[in-house]
Homo-oligomer: A and B are copies of this chain.
Amino acid sequence: MGEEQPLRTDYAGTLTSERIGDQVRLAGWVDRRRDHGGVVFFDIRDASGLAQVVVDPDQLPAGRDLKMEYTVTVGGEVRPRPEGTINVDMATGEVEVVASDIRILSTAETLPFMINDRVEVDERLRLQYRYLDLRRPRMAANLRARSNAIRAMRETLDELGFLEVETPTLIRSTPEGARDMLVPSRLNKGSFYALPQSPQLFKQLLMVGGVDRYYQIARCYRDEDFRSDRQLEFTQLDIEGAFWGQDGVLETLEQVIVAVVEQARGVTIPRPFKRMTYAESMARYGTDKPDLRFGMEITDLGDIFEDSDFKAFSGAVKGGGAVRGLNVGPLGLSRSGLDGLVAKAKELGAKGLVWMVAEDDGSLRSPVAKFLTESELQRLGARFATTPGDILLIAADETKLVGTLLGQLRVELGRPKGHDELAFLWVVDFPVFEETEGGDLAPAHHPFTSPVSVTEMRDNPKAAVSKAYDLVLNGSELGSGSVRIHDPEIQKQVFEVLGISDEEAESRFGWFIKALRYGTPPHAGFAVGIDRLLAILQGEQSIRDVIPFPKTQTGADPMTESPKPVDDFQLMELGVNLRPEVRAALDGSREVPE
C-alpha cells in the first residue's frame, strides 16, 4: 500500500507564461527532438498538447537517449523562452521547461508512420496500427469530438427527463432476418441469439411498460454486404416517447442536434429546422435526402412541352412521365464534357439527356434546338432565368427516372466540398410503399410504422402516406423515425396490407403483438446514426475516421487479425460444425505458408 510518486503534476498543453518559475512534472511522449550546440530540445506531447523541454545531456544523460515516441516523465522549472524563439503557433509557445530530472518510462521501436497529420498513410496500415493512428492530432480530436457530442446528447435528454435504458443485445432472431448476426447458444445447443439491428421492439415495449421517455446510445449490428461506408456494428442515438407524436419527436431532436453542433462547432444553429414533404423533396431535388447547401433545383417543364412537336419531350409528358431540367450554371464544360454527362445519364437507365448552353445573346445552343420552337426556347430560358454561359440539362422519361437522374447530376455538379456549412432538414410524410425496380410495391419502413389511414393504405397504396420522417444533413440521411402503431388490430391490418400473412406475423412478431394488448400508449420515436453525424461534423469523408476501432469493408480488423477460425472444441461446445466446403476451403488456405 505504498504511496506512489505521481508521474505528472501538470498537463503539457496547459503551461503558459503565468507558470514561469514553477516547478512542474510532465509525462507524455517525445514528439520531436532537436540537438542545438550540445543542448537537447524536445516537445513532450500528452492528451492536452505539447510543451518544449530543454535538457543538458551532460547533466542529465537520459536526454541523450531520447527517441521519438518514447514515454518520459520530466521534472523541471517553467521559464520564458529566449527572445526570438517564441512560437506563436503553439499554445505553450512562450515557455519551456528546463529539465532537472528525466525518466524514460518506455521505449519505442521504429514507427510504421509518423505521428502527425501531414503524412498520408494507407488506411489499412493505419488500422493495423490503430493505437498509433489515434495519437495523430486529427484522430485524437475526432475521439474527443465523439465523446463531447454524445455527452451533449445525453445532457439535453437528461434535462428533458428522458430515462436511459439498456436494452438487450442477445435477442430473438427473426426467421426471415437473413441479415441478423447470430450467436450460437451453448446452454441451448441448436438455438441462436441474434444481435439487434436496432432496439426497435424493445423500446416500444418500454413504452408499453410505462417508461415515458426513453433514450439509449445503442450499439446495433447489421450484416450487410459492405457498401463504401458501412460497419457491421454501429452506434445510434435511439429515442422513444409515450403519449407523444411527430411534433414532439422533431422538437426534441432539434434540441439535441443544436446542443451537439454547439459542442462541436461552437455555433448555435437556428430552429426550427426546415421541413419538407417527401413529395416536395422528390419533385425539387429528385431524392428524399436533398443537400440544401445549394440551390440548383429541378424545374418542371411539362407545361412548356406537353404539346411540343419534339416528341421526345411531349411523348414523355403524355405517357405519364415528365420533362424536367436543371440549370447547372456556367460550369465551363467542353463539348466532350457535356457528352460525358449524356453517357452517364444512359448508364443510369435514361434514354438520354439534353444539354443547352445559354449564349451571350440569350439564345440557347443545343443539338435539339432545331426541333424546338422559338417560343419554347424563350419560355425555357425564362423558366431557368438563364444568364450567358449557363448550362441547362433536361431529361424526359418516366417521372421517377427523371428525378433520380437529375438528382444525381445535381449533386455531382453542385455539391460543395467539405462540411463547413450544415444544412439540416426534416423530410416528412413518407409514402407507405415504395416502388421496387421491378415495379412492385414494397413497404418503405418497418411494419410498426403508423399509416395516416389504413383505408387509404389499402385502397390507394401508391398514394398512401405514413407518419414517418427522416433527418437529413448535407444530403446524408442521419436517421429516421415514425409514429408507431399502438393498436393491435391496426397492426394486424397493416401486416395484411403489407403482405405479411397471419402465420408469418404470428411466428415473427406474435410475442410483440401480444404485448400491445395490455394498454399500449400512442408512441413515437427516432434513431440518429452517430457515426455519420460525427463524420460530417468533423469534416471526415469516412465514418471509419470517427470510430475508435473500425473494421475494413470486408469486416476485418487488420490489427487483431479478426475474424478468425476457432478451435473445433469451441464449435463442438456450441453444437455447430463448419460446413464441409468451408472446412475444405480453410484447409486449403492453411497449406499456403503464412
Contacts and interface: CB of A to CB of B under 8 A. Distances in A.
Interface of A: 1, 3-4, 6-8, 11, 27-30, 45-48, 69-71, 73, 105-109, 111, 129-135, 140, 143-144, 146-147, 150-151, 154, 158, 163-173, 175-178, 180-193, 195, 202, 205-206, 208-213, 219, 221, 223, 225-226, 232-233, 235, 242-248, 275, 277, 428-429, 486-487, 511, 515-522, 547-549, 551, 554-557, 559-567, 569-579, 582-583, 585-586
B522 A219 contact: no
Nearest to A26: B243
Contact of A219 (B219, B548, B561): B219
A169 B549 CA distance: 10
Nearest to A112: B518
A243 B73 contact: yes
Given A186-B223, A192-B566, 5 more contacts: A1-B429, A71-B519, A105-B486, A170-B221, A175-B566
15 contacts: A1-B275, A1-B277, A28-B521, A47-B210, A71-B519, A129-B518, A131-B206, A134-B209, A154-B154, A173-B563, A185-B555, A191-B565, A202-B549, A219-B219, A571-B576
Contacts of A144: 163
Contacts of A69: 518-519
A577 B574 contact: no
Interface centre among A131, A560, A573 (most CB of B within 10 A): A131
Contacts of A132: 208-209, 518
Given A167-B548, A520-B106, A576-B576, A189 B511 contact: no
Given A7-B522, A154-B151, A549-B167, A586 B211 contact: no
Nearest to A488: B106
Kindly list the 6 A-B residue pairs having the minimum CB-CB distance in the complex, ordered from nearest: A134-B209, A172-B562, A47-B212, A108-B519, A191-B563, A69-B519
A233 B169 contact: yes
A201 to B, nearest CB: 8
B566 A173 contact: yes
